[in-house]
Amino acid sequence: MDNIFIKREKNYIFLIVLSLYFLSIFNTSNAESSQDLPPSFVFGDSLVDVGNNNYIFSLSKANFPPNGIDFGMPTGRYTNGRTIPDIIGQELGQKKFSPPYLAPSTKGTAILQGVNYGSGGGGILNATGQIFIGRLNLDAQLDNFANTKEDLITNIGEEAANKLIAKGLYSMVMGSNDFINNYLTPVVSRAEQALVSPQTFVNALISRFRVQLLRLYDMGARKIIVVNVGPIGCIPYQRDLNPSAGDNCVALPNELAQLFNIQLKSLVTELNNELQGSQFVYADVYRAVSDIILNYTSYGFENADSACCRFSGRHGGLVPCNQASKVCSDRSKYVFWDPYHPTDAANVIIAKRLTDGDSSFVSPINIRQLAFPNSTPSFN
């Protein structure tokens, strides 16, 4: 009998040791996976702002309900839930969202996983968004990244900081406001367009954007995602501003976006060829959003032309989402949250297209391949 108990005891010990061994492998694998995650640095406008405008005097803010109704609370995100970079980060395995640069808590170890510099109303040109008074345009956002780089050097040393910066993912979501809140602003658009042709304006945008992307590269960024301008003529704001378009998207804003996007794609190709060690990725949000709007029922949506959070206008596009607005009962059935921005449901589709999509949505590689060069392609 004693021998039987001894054998059982040995078997139990063996199983415990074996379990601990596999647990250690699992934990090591997870740790390695966590260490492989690149930090995410996000630049852009209200499509990606996660709260920076909360900390400046600005007429463009979203830190009040019903914004964030499906996020848990208002944070400064201009949507009911998450932004596209939020979702891409989750798809890649990040446990925390990149924090807003201007938040007092964004310092020390908090910046090691990335920082979000996005600002509602911001643009490529410094004149863009003047209607909002306060906003952080791209030049200011790049200044803030330079400050982050200095903080990293102070915290972890220059060599480690340079490695982390080179490993990071950099998302550039700029250009929409340069049209909506600059060239197409109702109070100045006719005068502006009489003096500056669309082609001349786009040329100026691309020229300035090139300088800004080069500056980011010179500061050590190597993996840069350049997002094009979406079909801005299809947003509820433009539809209500131009009722003569009827049920169609407004032509001129979309033509301007396409004019810009053609040159932007060429710029991405040019920079990839010229800048040693660079990996620029062109994200075709225009195509992704157009596809959703055109085939919205196949994606499970019921409305592709009106704002879920609406105050006035046939499409709810005349007044920004505010506390007096009416909110649709099922946000997942709407493509647009407010006059300008997609819902969380639409952002999920766009984010997955960019993370794991094929070259028709993101090229020359997708974001997962950019983040993890040895990953196996999985096109969706």
Does residue 105 carry a catalytic annotation?
A: no
How far apart are alpha carbons 149 and 158 in whole angstroms? 9
Q: What length does the chain have?
A: 380
Q: With contact defined as beta carbons under 8 Å apart, do 29 and 283 qualify? A: no
Strand order in the sheet with 279-283: 114-116, 40-44, 169-173, 223-227, 279-283, 362-363
Q: Which two tokens mark 108?
A: 């020390």
Q: What is the DSSP code (8-state) at residue 54?
A: G
Q: Is 46 assigned a catalytic role?
A: yes
> Side chain identity at 100, as an amino acid letter?
P
Residue whose token pair is 């647990």:
23
The active-site residue, picked from 40, 49, 176, 341, is 341
Query: Is the preceding peptide bond at 38 cis, omega within 30 degrees of 0?
Result: no
In the set 40, 45, 46, 171, the catalytic residue is 46
Give the pairing of strands 303-307 and 223-227: unpaired
Three-class DSSP category at 50:
coil
- Which is the catalytic residue, given 240, 284, 291, 338? 338
Give the rounded distance of the alpha carbon of 191 from its chain centre.
32
Backbone angles phi, psi at 298, to 5 degrees: -70, -20
- For the record, the structure tokens of 13 come out as 């010990």
Does the annotation count 341 as an active-site position?
A: yes
Tokens representing 205?
A: 């945008």
Give the residue carrying structure tokens 């197409």.
Answer: 184
The residues that are catalytic are 46, 338, 341
